Structure 1
Amino acid sequence: MDRISALRNVEEALADFESGEADLRATERRVVNVLRTYATEFEDDQLSVYRASGTDEAEGVVVVAESASRARENVAERVETDESAVEVRELS
């Protein structure tokens, strides 16, 4: 997904929210999913994209990091949970 497509999808999500076709939670999910899709296309030889699971707060969180262990640390810090409760898998 390129930047223009991502912005267009976010704009559509906001339009649905403004018209009452979607509530805040659904709008947040759509916007986050757009960002996740955009992030998975982020390319750098040193970095990879990881999706987290393990706790409700960590579920589905996507981070870009240089290793799985650093990705777990980033997620744990972001959702304020113990790192041992977080699992990550690399997205391809």
Structure 2
Amino acid sequence: MDRISALRNVEEALAALEAGETDLASAEERVCAILRTYATDYDGALTAWRASGDPAVEGLVVLAASEREARERVAALVDETDVRVSVSRLA
């Protein structure tokens, strides 16, 4: 899924919420599914990486070009230095 398609799908979810065709929880689920699909099917030089280890990082997913870059991105997000990452299978 490319960025434009993801944005279009999020816009449709918001429009459905505004029109009363869905509730907030359903809209949130839809948007989360869109983001998960975007990260999983990302068509570019980046890969989805899932962090593990310390509870502060457990399960965080970032897009990065390498394992080292993924560790750095996770560490910067949670101000943690000891971070392990692996290629994520989100689906």
Q: TM-score, normalised by structure 1?
A: 0.57
Provide the rounded CA distance (Å) in 1 between the counterparts of 2:70 and 2:2: 24
Confirm whether residue 87 of structure 1 aligns to residue 89 of structure 2.
no
Aligned length: 86
Deviation sequence 1:55-89 (CA, Å, 0-9, x none): 555344332323213211211211x24232x3322
Q: Percent identity?
A: 51
Identify unmatched segments of 5+ residues in structure 1. Answer: none
Provide the rounded CA distance (Å) in 2 between the counterparts of 1:5 and 1:22: 21
CA contact (8 A) 2:61 2:88 kept: no
Confirm whether residue 10 of structure 1 aligns to residue 13 of structure 2.
no
Q: Which amino acid aligns with 1:89?
A: S
Deviation sequence 1:3-27 (CA, Å, 0-9, x none): 443123212332454436124xx72
Relative to structure 1, the CA distance from residue 3 to residue 64 in structure 2 (aligned partners, 3 Å threshold; closer, same or farther) is closer
Provide the rounded CA distance (Å) in 1 between the counterparts of 2:32 and 2:66: 22
Q: What are the equivalent positions in structure 2 for 1:1-92 lying under 5 Å apart?
A: 1-18=1-18, 19=20, 21-23=23-25, 27=28, 30-40=30-40, 41-44=42-45, 47-55=46-54, 57-78=56-77, 80-84=78-82, 86-91=83-88
Pairwise CA RMSD of aligned residues? 3.3
Provide the rounded CA distance (Å) in 1 between the counterparts of 2:71 and 2:54: 12
Q: Helix, strand or coil: the match of 2:49?
A: strand
